[in-house]
Amino acid sequence: MDSTVKRRLTTLMLAALALPALAQKLADPTRPPATMAAPDSAAPEADGVPSAPRLQSILIGGAPGGRRLAVIDGVTVRIGGKVGDAILERINDNSVLLRRGKNLETLTLFPKPAEAADPTGKTK
């Protein structure tokens, strides 16, 4: 081979070897934004007051009378199971009922958005 061809081939090979060093890591397009990465329930408790439990998912078995499970604050709970100091009483299609002593609390999977109020105090 001619020396010019060898020189060009060597230069081309060295350039090809350097390309991976210039590559950047691509961001995962399916990953949620960093602001959404940590759930609200993972936030530290303010003034020692525990934050309200958050219903994340409801799992219902396919058979009639099938098993029902709820995922609350990242923990899978069955009916009668404990969520903090509350007991899971009932699992509906889109909500669960918690009992704390004599108090009942309903957690909804898809809460209705708050209605916007105009300055006069009337709802739209």
Token pair belonging to 97:
């009922």
Give the residue numbers spanning the domain of 101.
53-108
pLDDT, one tens digit per residue, over 36-86 is: 655 554 455 556 566 788 999 999 988 887 889 999 999 999 999 999 999
Q: Which segments of the chain are extended strands (E)?
A: 55-60, 68-72, 75-78, 82-83, 86-91, 95-100, 103-108
Measuring CA to CA, which residue among 46, 93, 50, 55 is closest to residue 74?
A: 55
State the pTM of this model.
Answer: 0.52
> Is 102 inside any structural domain?
yes
pLDDT, one tens digit per residue, over 22-32 is: 777 777 888 87
> Is 76 inside any structural domain?
yes
**Cα–Cα distances in angstroms (integers) from residue 117 to residues 56, 105, 113, 120, 123, in the given order:** 28, 26, 12, 8, 5
CATH number at residue 89: 2.30.30
With 80 as the cut, is the pLDDT of residue 35 above it? no
> Is 94 inside any structural domain?
yes
| Measured distance CA(31)–CA(52) in Å, rounded | 26
